[in-house]
Structure 1
């Protein structure tokens, strides 16, 4: 019976890992899309877009994937949360020299 319990425990662990990996892949895709939006908005390179996203995340105390989600949903919703919008404007201005 111990073997069956070990097998069941292992299956449970593997299911949790698969779930976490699926979430990570989805989150990564959203972050990549948000980087693309920042690159287009600011005329930046992708590495600079990444830095802008990190800056917005840090300055708003919001998880990076949540900042990315807000940016990707922005066209559909028609607005960004005020703190993210202000931080994005500041970070873009700092990168583009239009402060």
Structure 2
């Protein structure tokens, strides 16, 4: 690595040894696995909102995102709740209220 690169803001430093590099790569893989899982659940929730709310996917995404922000519940958790609701019919009142308000009368009822 260039000696001067270490002084640059945000410059990546080279691992001190192989064990450190392996640890860093394992951490990255774990983060990527979590991201893929979260993305799948969010996509499923978008599908539920599209079907129930009869809205385009972009509007379903906005409804989930806004519900997350308004209820102070992480987006991944809101998505999990919506997917579970599709199977069980159970959706927490605050999430239901925000989705229904966002989607109008077409929302989950």
Same fold (TM over 0.5): yes
Which has the larger helix fraction? 1
If asked which structure has higher relative contact order (CA below 8 Å, sep 6+), I would say 1
What's the TM-score bracket when you normalise by the shorter of the two chains?
0.7 to 0.9
Give the 5 Å matches for 1:1-99: 6-93=17-104
* TM-score, normalised with respect to structure 1: 0.85
CA distance in 1, matches of 2:70, 2:86: 22
Is the radius of gyration larger for structure 1 or structure 2? 2
Distance 2:89 2:68 in 1: 20
- Structure 2, unaligned stretches of length 5 or more? 1-15
Runs of 4+ off more than 6 Å: none
In structure 1, runs of 5+ residues without a counterpart are none
TM-score of the aligned structures, taking structure 2 as reference length = 0.78
